Amino acid sequence: MKLYDYFRSSAAYRVRIALNLKGLAPERAFVHLRRGDHREENYLALNPQGLVPSLVTDDGAVLTQSLAILEWLDETHSRSPLLPADPSGRARVRSLALTIACDIHPLNNLRVQNYLTGTLGVTDAQKDGWVRYWIDTGFEALETRLAGDAATGRFCHGDAPTLADVCLVPQMANARRMDFDFTPYPTLLRIEAACAALPAFANAAPAKQPDAEK
């Protein structure tokens, strides 16, 4: 197995956490997004979207899109299940994860920020306001759902980490890279702290990766 990774990609960060939870340590290659490695012919042949992560399996299949990779890891490696057993619980966990993976993260990633400041010519302050707005909009909904539901435990769903936590922690790390006010989100902070206490989460953090930069 080989992971195409970038320390600062929060989609790759999700996959790193899941690999750690599953006890897997694949070979890794690093795709430097700010330098444009993802636009090189070799990488586009592997992943036509030019995004990270990609995961090449032992039988040569190229898996793309972090949530598809996470589901594949969960279907093929039973240790530390990322989804509960009941369909209704699975739907809850996936919905929490998708709120981040569809409705926060894609609006704020590097290519979108570049379009805003480049093609549309918005100021850095407007761009930061955009990023903060979509994080707040998503976090408000997550805080309401998590705080008001008995299915929430030490983690987003019960007392073991799931797909929802795997998506939440990298999104919170992204927010921490800017001046972001977490005061309205006590439940998210509590769950983030519970995750940070687990080596699988702590060791997946951007700063701990071989390609990390200051």
Residue 35 token pair: 């330098």
C-alpha 29/C-alpha 69 separation (Å) is: 16
C-alpha 12/C-alpha 31 separation (Å) is: 11
In the complex, the smallest distance separating the C-beta of residue 206 from a second copy, rounded to whole angstroms, is 20
Contacting positions for a second copy (CB under 8 A): 48-51, 57, 59, 61, 63-65, 67-69, 71-72, 75-76, 87-88, 90-92, 94-95, 98-99, 101-103, 105-107, 112, 115-116, 119-120, 122, 126, 129-130, 133, 138, 140-141, 144-145
In the complex, the smallest distance separating the C-beta of residue 55 from a second copy, rounded to whole angstroms, is 9
Closer residue to a second copy, CB minimum distance, 29 or 56: 56
In the complex, the smallest distance separating the C-beta of residue 17 from a second copy, rounded to whole angstroms, is 18
Closer residue to a second copy, CB minimum distance, 123 or 203: 123
In the complex, the smallest distance separating the C-beta of residue 202 from a second copy, rounded to whole angstroms, is 26
Closer residue to a second copy, CB minimum distance, 120 or 197: 120
In the complex, the smallest distance separating the C-beta of residue 18 from a second copy, rounded to whole angstroms, is 13
